[in-house]
Amino acid sequence: MPTTSSLLGRHDEIERLLALVRAAERGVGGVLVLRGEPGIGKSALLDQVEQAADRFQRIRASGSEFEGELPFAALHQLCVPVLTHLDSLATPYRDSLLVAFGLAEGAPDPFRVGLAALELLASAAAERPLLCLIDDAHWLDAASARALTFLARRIAAEPIAMLFAARDQEPVPGLDELPGLAIRGLSDAHARDLLAREKTGTLDERVRDRLLAEARGNPLALIELPKAGGFALPTPSPVASRIERSFLSRMADLPPDARELLVLASADPTGDPALLWAAARRLNLDVSAASAAAEASGLIQFDTRARFCHPLARSAAYRAAEPPQRRAAHRALADSTDPDTAEDRRAWHRAQATAGPDEEVAAELETSASRAQARGGVAAAAAFLERAAALSLGHGKKVERTLAAAQATLAAGRAEAAAGLLTSIDTSTLAIPQRASAELLRGQIAFVQGADGAVRGAEIILRAAQQLPATDRERSREFLVAALEMGLVVGRAAGVLDRVLAAAPAAGPPDLLTALVRLTAEGHRAGIPAIRQALAGDDWTRTPALATVLAGELWDLDLHRTIVDWLTRTGQTTGSPMTVRLGLSQAALSAVFAGNFGQAMAAIAEEEAIADALGDPPQLYPRMHLAAIRGRRQEVFDLFAEATSRQTGQLTANAHWAMAVLHNGLGDYPAALESATHAVASGDLFLTGIALPEQIEAAVRCGEDAVARSALDALAERAEPAGTDFALGVAAGARAMVNDAEDDYVAALSYLADSPLSVQTARAHLRYGEWLRRAGRRRDARAQLRAAHEQLSNIGLEAFARRAADELRATGEVARSRSAHTYDRLTMQEMHIAREVAAGATSKEVATRLFLSPRTVDAHLRNIFRKLGITSRRQLRDMPDLRDPS
């Protein structure tokens, strides 16, 4: 492979790129994002590497300024050269790609498109290493950006090298998290050499110095600006616009037909010569002469694709045209586009060719929006709907399409743009139902804009619910429930939850809203039976997140398990990302309290894999609960910092609970009391109930009797009406600590004896043993502390196990050391893989669950074998930590 370069001043950059390529040739895949200003040489570096990687299959794609709304457009470009391997994919993956590329009907599975693309590229790379070059990545459509960054993070075990080129200061979600290489300007010496190489010796020396100063080492500027020529000193301006003006000056010398052909090519992002020539003939252009003149200018090249010499040349050609000329180009392209195979692109060109309102084109765009949304292209749907609204004739249609465009824009993650669309609607002229829809959307926009926005969003929706007429009770309740769920996210401290419940009618159907109204107004003794009744049917399936919280408030393990099972089944059936993630997070939470940390780690790893596939942050609370109970101090501190930085009330309350558990385990009771007090301060549903015992334990150890008794009263208010063994066992244990009563210690163990909550049972033994030792009953204490230490060690509660060992030593007995757990040596992802393989899953099946390639799973397995000191899959099955309890 060549290692030298004809690019001046780029030796180090090229060596870095070639090192990536060489590693891929050895089977170690990698990715690099080249970042720099326009014209700095990113595309030239991609060209250089493409020429050097002569033993590779080389495929290219690029983002397009005019194609950013079409979903999976860039991914399609990249995959087209290797679609011959499509039949080697499993049917679900093949179908996902066909649907995503508009080659089959249906909705693509958002989890499968990225993995399907990875499988496709991996199949191609199995024959010969693969080099993927993605230029102008700052213009990638959102769906392609998500899929490409997803697979870029998963090629470590594949013979694939991926190189992206993107402009500075134009962030692309996911792309900025990949390894990057900043491309800077050339040194002064290299810049002068480049000017000399370009034969600019006739330039006046003062002009030469000014060009060098203004170009700031930008290679394209150094090549193009002298072509604008002259000895006059030009007015200083940004390099990009100076370069565009250079391109414009070269266009000005072309014949009219050649200029018009450039405009036509700039309006068509596909670069398809057949389409371009057909459109040119519709404009009565002399195709042969025009294409020859355009190519001679060096601005464009026509071969298998029409390619401009630089994106700035394309932008210059498009922007230089007068609006009527641009509309004529789009009209010719629309008329030349096959309506059967590219109906959305045809609709888009028709829309750009329309100067005024046109209901026919607007309706066509609306249909395209529906198709785009079905393919997962919400950004495309938003663009189509926004343009459809602009072309709508009737006021009602305009408002309806604008609201739909705002909704799609919000779904695409562009809250500010969605808010801008809403401001174009005069809500005072709307009928009440439409005005309420606008306010609901306004509230949803505010909700995603941060913690304060979440509070504001819930309040906006609450006001909208109150403005609906009395005759529209069902819709009003829907709005109240939407505001209620927002209130749960921001936490009770924000006051939203209480204001929503205050606004709800006191009497109503036996649903969750009515039950919560009663809980707030009359307390837990009246509210708990109402909540239990509301959860007895299946209405809770419309608000499963709320249902999981209320199952916790009921201390009802069976109900919580029922909800988790429903979430798992429904998520698998519908493919809903949020349903699957909620189910996995809640399953992890259940496993944490049951002391099955391996199962918890596997569920967390799977949730994080889905979040990564979607480009979303993972759920933090399952990780926090697991780390806190295990006694992992630094991990809890790190998660606490991340959770509090997100500034959502519920997550912050979870973080304070985690700190309280950690400090109680470490025996730092003042710190535990402070954290637990923060956790219970807002009275959040479920969290307050599980945080109160931590506050009571810390307060008793700190001698804060009044705090402990007040917390015990609050716990009894919640636990006694619930009446489950879980609730009564926790309450008895707390009462024992406050009242110094042995009967309550025994009662706590009795209630928890048959409970799956092994963590609570082990801690109950520890507290009882500590009490016995302090009472001077060493022999009795040893039995309880021995049981506590054994259970805590077996489960993996490291801090609490050390506490039990210290107590045992105080009785004169040394605790036996325990061997390390399997999950102590593995990462979350490795634990998931080990458990799946131990259960008999193949690498391909595991890869599907974690959105990895089978080769990557095999690479992880090799690490797992090394860490565990084993050599085969069969040996994994003999490890108890990798089996679920029966």
How confident is the model over 791-825, as pLDDT tens digits? 999 899 999 999 999 999 999 888 887 767 877 88
Q: Report the C-alpha dihedral over residues 362, 366, 367, 373, rounded to 10 degrees.
A: 150
Query: Can you state the angle between helices 577-593 and 557-574, rounded to 10 degrees?
Result: 150
Q: CA 474, 475, 478, 483 torsion: positive or negative? A: negative
Is pTM beyond 0.85? Reply is no
The predicted structure's pLDDT at residue 649: 66
Record the tokens describing residue 292, joined without a space: 């020859």
Q: Answer for the pair 698, 660: CB distance below 8 angstroms, yes or no.
A: yes
**Residue 278: both structure tokens together:** 């057909």
Which segments within 400-462 are labelled E, that is strand? none
**Distance in angstroms (rounded) separating the CA atoms of residues 257 and 166:** 33
Helices (H), 703-795: 705-722, 725-739, 742-752, 758-774, 778-795
Tell me the DSSP string of 808-863: HHHTT-PPPP-PPPHHHHS-HHHHHHHHHHHTT--HHHHHHHHT--HHHHHHHHHH
Please, which pLDDT band fits residue 89 given cuts at 50, 70 and 90? confident
419-458 per-position pLDDT tens digit:
888 888 887 777 777 888 888 888 878 776 655 666 677 7
Are 288 and 302 in contact, with CB atoms under 8 Å apart? no
In 3-state terms, what secondary structure has residue 355?
Answer: coil
For residue 484, the model assigns a pLDDT of 77
Overall average pLDDT of the 723-744 stretch: 95
Q: Which of 283-292, 465-474, 853-862 has the lowest mean pLDDT?
A: 465-474
Residue 2 has pLDDT above 60, yes or no: no
Choose the weakest-confidence range: 44-48, 392-396, 485-489, 770-774.
485-489
- Return d(Cα 243, Cα 859) in angstroms, integer: 48
**CA dist., res. 860 & res. 872, Å (int):** 13
For residue 837 the two structure tokens come to 């393989």
**C-alpha pair distances (Å), 372 with each of 231, 488, 767:** 53, 33, 60
Residue 738, pLDDT > 90, answer: yes
Q: Phi, psi (5° rounding) for residue 181? A: -140, 115
Question: What is the pLDDT confidence band of residue 680, given thresholds at 50, 70 and 90?
Answer: very high
Q: pLDDT tens digit string along 193-202?
A: 887 776 554 5
What is the mean pLDDT of the segment spanning 530-542? 87
Find the mean pLDDT for residues 174-188: 87
Q: State the Cα torsion 747-750-753-758 to the nearest 10°.
A: 0
> Does residue 174 or residue 779 have the better pLDDT?
779
pLDDT at 14 over 50: yes
Q: Burial, 576: exposed, middle or buried (Cβ in 10 Å; 0-12, 13-18, 19+)?
A: middle
pLDDT confidence of residue 230: 36
Strands lying side by side in the sheet with 130-135? 57-62, 130-135, 160-167, 30-36, 180-182
- Greatest CA span in the chain, whole angstroms? 105
Give 413-416's long-range contacts (Cβ < 8 A, gap of 24+): 413/142, 413/173, 414/379, 414/382, 415/445, 415/448, 415/449
Range in 345-354, 477-486, 717-726, 755-764 with the lowest mean pLDDT: 477-486
Q: Which two tokens stand for residue 238?
A: 């940004």
- The residue among 91, 104, 172, 108 whose CA lies nearest residue 139 is 172
Task: Indicate the average pLDDT of the chain.
Answer: 85
Task: Tell me which of 595-599, 604-608, 643-647, 710-714 is least confident.
Answer: 643-647
List, for residues 866-886, the tens digit of each pLDDT value.
Answer: 998 888 888 888 887 777 654
What's the mean pLDDT in 465-482? 77
pLDDT of residue 198: 66
Strand, helix or coil for residue 543: coil
**Residue 305 — very low, low, confident or very high, per pLDDT cuts 50/70/90?**
confident
Average pLDDT over residues 532-558: 89
Q: Say which residues have a Cβ less than 8 Å from residue 364's Cβ, sequence separation at least 6.
A: 347, 350
pLDDT at residue 81, as a whole number: 92
pLDDT of residue 37: 85
pLDDT average, residue stretch 171-178: 78
- Tally of CB atoms within 10 A around 338: 10
Condensed to tens digits (0 to 9), the pLDDT of residues 241-265 reads 666 777 888 888 899 999 999 999 9
Local confidence band at 231 (pLDDT 50, 70, 90 cut-offs): very low
Residue 440: its pLDDT value, please? 81
Residue 17 pLDDT: 95
pLDDT of residue 452: 60
